[in-house]
Each structure stands twice: as structure tokens, then as C-alpha cells.
Amino acid sequence: MANTEHPNILIIFTDDQRRDTIAALGNDYIDTPTMDTLAQSGLVFNNIYCLGGNEPAVCQPSRRMLLTGDPWFVNNPQHNMAKHFENHGYETYFVGKTSNAAKDQWEQFQHQQSLGHARDQEFPGRSLVDTAIEYLDHNANEAESRPFLMYLAGPAAHDPYLGPEEFFEKYRAREIPMPPDYLPEHPFDNGEMNVRYERQFPTPRSEETIRQVLQEYYAVIDQLDTELARLLAELVSRGLWENTIIVFTSDQGISLGSHGLIAKQSLYESTMGVPFIIVGPGIEPGQTDALGYLFDVFPTIAELAGIPVPEGIHGRSLAPVIGNPSSDHREDILLAYTKADGTHVQRAVRRDNWKYFYYPHNGIEQLFNLADDPHEMNNLSEDPDLQDKKREMQQIMRQMQEDLEDPYHLPAEPGGTAVIVGGEADE
């Protein structure tokens, strides 16, 4: 039953899905008709980011940020999406991955169904959608039907790549091109080169190896897309489509050959950029280049649902951009990756089309002009004509770190001593 005062909210949160894996958004080598329907029906955000993480399983801090509205530097247990919506009249449902998935956050949903990890699922996506449909039945059968907040955070398309054989056969027959930022090896040690998934593939990474991995990866996304078609059909048949806001996105991307890397412990566009589509009543189809974060979702859906936006969170509602896609949202984006032992190894910042990287463990810098070099292949950090731009980006990074409560402080001069708030200096 549709609620005319407050819309239903459906969040579809995939795992490890790159921005460039939706056919309607320019990938000619993958079949994603359901995701295409969402992209053609709603507003596509081209520049939404996962901020990063403080452990190799970046999916865990990413999920925490989505559900709290805060960056991973901040731990405020009072901020919880499920409880906030429940307190304002919503029935809340969670189904999905529970390993490395911010347990203290998802367990606040009134109804929960664990799907474990990708390796625990014979057909990733099928159990997710089956349980989501059961939840729709439950909500419809409630004596006093309330609007729902449903958070679907399944394990696809995380490795291991599992699913029906026909999907893998389809992509084995396709000549998948190399990522445009493919390299056999990363040009330097980024501080996290020896994590699990990186160790599974020898270096240098051959084109044959990368094509095989991409074929399997595309097959899993295609299979998930097929399952999601059943869910959208249920929304239509139950009369819910017209009064449900759908947010489709992912926890972060993954390298799979980009920059000579395989995994997701880096701050390049291929790993921190995510697909992001929002569909619903009053949302006009189109695209926007506004900059934003995944932790902007919480205040966005609260505003769109007609309930108060929680006070004190760092997330900012994207609703103004939905009303005016040509408007700006955030001027700057900070990206950060810290190892599980607390060693700060990567920082990056973006303003307009400029993106600056700093690697605290070794003092290496990168500077890219995304307008000319969207795949971050031409490092301009040593260009004598761009030293003022580099210093400007460093200052922006310092300000963003302060704004988002990043405990690492950029040194006064590149290569100098890093200062950790509340801790020891990190050379």
C-alpha cells in the first residue's frame, strides 16, 4: 500500500561495483537492463565517492558511513539511519552481507536477514531479492501499513565470482577491453600493495589475466541485474513504484587492472568513485556532475521522505541538486586510506577537475587534471608551471581534513614529518 505522505525508501547497495559497469552509462560490453532502467528513469550522479577506509576491507567503513551520515574518522553512535527512520514512523528492513558490514549499524533495523559473504552464496543476488520480496509481503500485511525503509546490501559483485554458468559463458565469448587506466604494475608502493586480493595475481598483471577477471566480474553484475529485475517488477505490480524512492549505488569500486592494481585499497577514480542513481516521485531523469559522498545519502533520503535531517552529521542533503542538477553540492572532496595498524598511507583531494594525492609513508605526490586526463595517467606534480596549483591543493586538503575531523595532518612541506592528532608523529 502506497503511503501518500511519506514515500517508501529502497536502497540497493552493491559490493565492489565500479562506476563504469552500467550499459546505459557507456559500457558497451556488459548487459544491465535493470540498472539501465534505473539510470534512464532517475537522476544519475557522476561524481559520488566513498571517502575511503581505515582497514583493507573498505566495505565496512563504507557501510558505516552510509548508515551514520558521518566520515569514518567520526564515531557517533547516536547517528543511525534505521533508528532515525523508525522513530519517524517507518518500518525498517535490512537484508544483505553481514561480514565486514558495520554490525552495530545494521542490527538496528527492525527486520534483518543475513546473507553472509559472496563465498556463502551460490547465486549472489537471488537470496537478496527473494528476501526483499518477503519483506514487501510483510509490510503489506501489517495491520497498520507504514512506509518502509529497505536497505539491500548484498555481497555481489564481490569476489569470489559465483553464479549460474550461462552468465560466465556469455562473457567468455566477449572480448572485454582493457580498462583505460590499465597498467601491468603500479609505479610505486602506495602503502598497501600486499593485501589478500592483490596477492592472488602475479605481477606484472598481463592483459590476459585482467580480461579473464573482468569477464567473471561482468558475469556476476549481469546476474545481479537479472535478479533485481524481479524486484522492480514487484514494485510495479504492487503499485509501489510511483511512491518509492530508490537509491542505487555501491560501497566502492575496485581496480581490476586499473593502475596495475587489482583490489580497492587506493584513492583513484576507479576505486573511490561509485555508480549513483536516485529514482522516485518528482525526480526528473538526467545527469549531474555535482560532487558528493555516500554519507550524503542519509540526510538526502530523510529530506526526501519529509522527516527531519539528523543534527550534527557531516553528510549534506543532495535534495537541492535533485531539484537543480546543474547546481553545485560540495566544492571539495577528501579521500583517505589508512591501514588497519593506524598507519596513514594515502590522502587525496579533488576540487573542480584537479586532483592531488599525497602518500604520507613515503612523501610521493601526484597531481592530475581530470578534464584532460580523466583516468589519472599523467602525473603533473613535478611540472614547474603547476607548483602554485599543487600548493593550493595541499591547502584545500588541510582544510578538508579539519572539516571532516581527519586525525592525520598533512606536513607543512611534502616529505616532512606528519602529525597525528592524539598520537605519535608518523614519518
Return the pLDDT at 101.
76
Q: What is the mean pLDDT of residues 80-85?
A: 97
Is residue 355 within 8 Å of 367, Cβ to Cβ?
yes
Class (C level, CATH) for 8-323: alpha beta
Q: What is the mean pLDDT of residues 193-221?
A: 94
Return the pLDDT at 75.
82
Average pLDDT, the chain: 92
CB atoms inside a 10 Å sphere around CB 119: 12
C-alpha angle with apex 361: 382 to 186, nearest 5 degrees? Answer: 65
Fold of the domain built from segment(s) 332-420:
Arylsulfatase, C-terminal domain (3.30.1120)
Q: Which three cell numbers stand for residue 150?
A: 529497505
For 279-331, what is each residue's pLDDT tens digit?
999 999 999 999 999 999 999 999 999 999 999 999 999 999 999 999 999 99
Band (pLDDT 50/70/90 cuts) for residue 425 is very low
For 98-146, what is each residue's pLDDT tens digit?
877 788 899 999 999 988 765 666 677 888 999 999 999 999 887 567 9
For 216-232, what is each residue's pLDDT tens digit?
999 999 999 999 999 99
For 261-285, what is each residue's pLDDT tens digit?
999 999 999 999 999 999 999 999 9
Residue 424 has pLDDT above 50, yes or no: no
Return the pLDDT at 426.
31
* CA-closest candidate to residue 25, choices 241, 221, 258, 246: 221
Q: What are the extents of the domains in the chain? A: 8-323, 332-420
Return the pLDDT at 1.
32
For 398-415, what is each residue's pLDDT tens digit?
999 999 999 998 876 655
